[in-house]
Every structure is written in structure tokens, then in C-alpha cells.
């Protein structure tokens, strides 16, 4: 089976084509500036269907007025004799879509039909920046590949197992029942993949693992996993709650919002600042890229140093809290761009977690980069800290295959 995985933003389409026989990536790419006449297609053919490895990349300017035309251009690249990897669209058996928000209506990946489209559309109120382009991608795939089954894989699905004690806010009951005010959480596909992969690495079944998984990138979230199921999560009704992030503030006294509105900012301005101008960027005044901040901190930039230390401190606080609510803990698992690659951040985390049983091993820390998985603590550590690279696209492809084969 070949599965085409699509992740649509408002002006972009990320994609990968998988051969599910061996879970290999055949091709991948990114179409940027969808909606413009000078869109840019970055396409890489990774492996041909006959098994011969290739590495043919293209970067070209194209006219992609909408997601449908964009997907047609991508399919053209997949079919192209010079850098394509398939001979016919018929080779693609299904299309898997990343969809951010399923609300309380959908708690698993599902085959797309009119009812599912309606649910995604209705939950766009909760994810106005994500669900609409996700819908555009599904519509585009249906138009570009008529008759192909489409599967929606929801960011919120893995987190649907949170109990009411974790997902309810201490607000009037009517707010929850009438306005759906509750914690939903995000990055669920990443946390699910990392949970399954860590269980495999530990030689356990998924239902046997108790983990704290931390997805650390420009967006950051952390999940408490008990028996392979999510039981608490840092992000909330929106991705703004929780850890300090690249440009998001994370946890904040809600009264700050009212205070800043009373001091002249509009609600829209406050929302924009907390989502796009806060976090690492806001504290440092320099960058939302951890690499830039670590370099600046080494050079004596105090604001950059503070931003890094706050980032680490808040992660440690969540790990401590989730350690208290889990009945046992097999490992803390780091993933995402920072979690997988930032040696200084990982080192600082292990040092701060010493009291909980982490024993840093610098040799392992240095060795576990560039897509490698493994522990970065010593063998005798009672709190093992692991690095496990995430693969959301593969998780989407796996779920798509599961849904299609189970029809």
C-alpha cells in the first residue's frame, strides 16, 4: 500500500509519500505560498518503487492559486519521469490528512465523509488558523484524486483519553456545556508516535509504559502517559497554554490580559502578542530560535540567558507535577527540534532533574543526535531520560492504513 500524507497550512502544503510495505518514504516536499503566482515547490524523490535509492531534488516557481491546483502540481512531481517515484496515480491507495481539531466529536482517526467534514468545519471555531486549511487540503485531494479514500488524523485524538479532572477548567459548568471551554491539547500525533516508539525501545507493550513525553520545538507541549494513554497534557483549549515556547507565552495569569486591555491594547493585539511575540522571542528580544539564544547567552547576553533558563525551568516544573500524578514513571522522553538536537538544553534538564533520579551522561547526550534514539542518562539512573525522534507523518500514514484496512 502507498499512502500520500498531506499537511496543509493556510498557504503551504507539506507532503510525504510512503510505501507501507516497509514504511519507507518514497518522496517528500513542501509547496510554499499557495494562493500566489510565484509559489515555490521543494520536492525530493527519496526512493523509487523498484527499491533503487535516489536523491533528486527540485526547487521551482509554480502557479498555485489554491490547494487543489497545488496538489495537482505535487502529483505531477510525483509522476515526473526525472524525479518522480510512481508511474500512475492508481498506485496511491489512500490519502492521510493532518487535522488539528476534532473537538469532543471525533476521538480517533477516521475515514472522511460529509459528516466528518461537517465536524471539522464546526470545530474551526476552536482552531480558526488550522482547521480551514486542513479542510482545503481534503477538498483539494478529493478534487485532484477523485475516488481515493481520505483519512483525517486529528492532533486532538491521542489526548481524548484525558479524564475530566485534567481537561476541565474551574469555571462555571455552563461554560463547558454551552461553550465547550475545556482543555483539548495538541501535538497528539507526535506524542502518540513517541509513546509507541519508546515502548518498543523499552521492550514493552504500549499499555505497559508510563512516560512523560515532551515535544520541544517552536511549539512545545508535554504529556503524562499512563498505560500508553494520555492522562494529562500541557496545552489547553488553544496551543497558548502550557510550556514557554518560541513565540507563545505559555502559562499566564489570565488577569494580565484584562490589565493590558485596560492599558490600551485591544483584545486582538493582546492575542497577537501572546501568540507571536512572547515566549523565547519576547523575553530575549532577539530570536525564537534556541540556537541563536544559546550562542548569544555564551556571549554574555543576559536576556538570552534568562530566556533559556526560563524555558528549562518550566519544563522541569511540568515534569515534577506529572511525576506526582503518575503511579510510576519509566522515562522522560524528549522529542521535537530542541528535544532531539539541543545538547545544552538536554544537559540543563538532566542536571535539574537530578533530585528525581536523573544522572546525566554527557557521552550519551553527544551521541544521541541527528535522528538517533536512546537514553542520555546513566544506566543506574532511577529516572531515565530518553531522546526519541518524532515522526508525525509516519504516524498519519500508519493510522491511514489502519482505517483503510479496517473498513
Phi/psi class of residue 276: alpha, beta or left (left: φ > 0; alpha: ψ in -120 to 50)?
Answer: alpha
3-state secondary structure of 352: helix
Q: Do residues 268 and 276 lie in contact, with contact meaning Cβ atoms separated by under 8 Å? A: no
> Which letter does DSSP use for residue 286 in this model?
S
Residues pairing with 32 in the sheet: 12, 40
3-state secondary structure of 138: helix
Exposed / middle / buried, residue 379 (Cβ in 10 Å: 0-12, 13-18, 19+):
exposed
The arrangement of strands across the sheet holding 220-226 comes to 229-233, 220-226, 210-216, 331-335, 385-387, 374-375
Q: Do residues 228 and 330 lie in contact, with contact meaning Cβ atoms separated by under 8 Å? A: no
Cite the DSSP H helix spans in 46-172: 67-79, 114-122, 131-144, 164-167
Cite the DSSP H helix spans in 285-356: 290-298, 302-325, 336-341, 343-352
Q: Do residues 361 and 377 lie in contact, with contact meaning Cβ atoms separated by under 8 Å? A: yes
Catalytic residue among 108, 155, 253, 330: 155
Is 155 known to be catalytic?
A: yes
First to last CA, the chain: 15
- Tell how many helices (H) and how many strands (E) occur in the chain: 15, 14
Angle at 329 between CA 325 and CA 331, to 5 degrees: 130
Q: Which residues are catalytic?
A: 155
Amino acid at each position: 500500500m502507498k499512502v500520500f500524507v498531506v499537511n496543509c497550512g493556510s498557504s503551504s502544503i507539506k507532503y510525504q509519500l510512503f510505501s507501507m510495505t516497509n514504511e519507507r518514504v518514497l518522496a517528500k516536499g513542501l509547496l510554499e505560498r499557495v494562493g500566489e503566482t510565484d509559489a515555490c515547490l521543494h520536492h525530493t524523490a527519496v526512493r523509487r518503487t523498484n527499491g533503487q535509492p535516489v536523491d533528486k531534488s527540485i526547487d521551482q516557481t509554480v502557479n498555485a492559486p489554491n490547494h487543489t491546483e497545488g496538489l495537482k502540481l505535487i502529483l505531477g512531481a510525483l509522476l515526473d519521469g526525472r524525479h518522480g517515484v510512481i508511474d500512475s496515480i492508481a498506485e496511491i491507495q489512500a490519502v492521510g490528512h493532518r487535522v488539528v481539531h476534532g473537538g469532543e466529536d471525533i476521538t480517533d482517526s477516521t475515514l472522511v465523509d460529509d459528516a466528518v467534514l461537517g465536524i471539522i468545519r464546526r470545530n474551526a471555531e476552536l482552531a480558526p488558523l488550522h482547521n480551514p486549511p486542513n479542510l482545503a487540503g481534503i477538498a483539494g485531494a478529493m478534487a485532484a484524486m477523485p475516488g481515493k479514500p481520505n483519512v483525517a488524523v486529528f492532533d486532538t485524538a491521542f489526548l481524548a483519553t484525558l479524564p475530566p479532572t485534567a481537561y476541565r477548567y474551574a469555571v462555571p459548568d455552563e461554560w463547558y456545556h454551552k461553550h465547550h471551554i475545556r482543555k483539548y491539547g495538541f501535538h497528539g500525533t507526535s506524542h502518540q508516535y513517541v509513546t509507541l516508539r519508546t515502548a518498543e525501545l523499552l521492550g514493552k507493550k504500549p499499555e505497559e509504559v508510563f512516560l512523560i513525553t515532551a515535544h520541544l520545538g517552536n511549539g512545545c507541549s508535554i504529556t503524562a502517559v499512563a498505560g500508553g494513554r494520555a492522562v494529562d497534557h500541557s496545552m489547553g483549549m488553544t496551543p497558548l497554554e502550557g510550556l514557554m515556547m518560541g513565540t507563545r507565552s505559555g502559562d499566564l495569569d489570565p488577569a494580565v490580559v484584562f490589565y493590558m486591555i485596560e492599558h490600551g491594547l485591544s483584545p486582538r493585539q493582546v492575542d497577537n502578542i501572546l501568540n507571536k511575540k512572547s515566549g523565547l522571542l519576547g523575553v530575549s528580544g532577539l530570536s525564537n530560535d534556541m540556537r541563536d539564544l544559546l550562542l548569544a547567552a555564551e556571549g554574555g547576553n543576559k536576556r538570552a540567558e534568562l530566556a533559556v533558563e526560563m524555558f528549562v525551568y518550566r519544563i522541569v516544573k511540568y515534569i515534577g507535577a506529572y511525576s506526582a500524578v503518575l503511579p510510576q514513571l519509566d522515562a522522560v522522553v524528549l522529542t521535537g527540534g530542541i528535544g532531539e538536537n539541543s545538547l545544552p538544553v538536554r544537559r540543563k534538564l538532566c542536571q535539574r532533574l537530578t533530585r528525581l533520579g536523573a544522572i546525566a551522561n554527557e557521552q550519551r547526550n553527544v551521541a544521541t543526535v541527528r535522528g538517533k534514539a536512546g537514553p542520555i542518562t546513566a544506566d543506574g539512573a532511577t529516572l531515565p531520560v530518553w531522546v526519541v525522534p518524532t515522526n508525525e507523518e509516519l504516524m498519519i500514514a500508519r493510522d491511514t492504513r489502519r482505517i483503510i484496512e479496517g473498513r
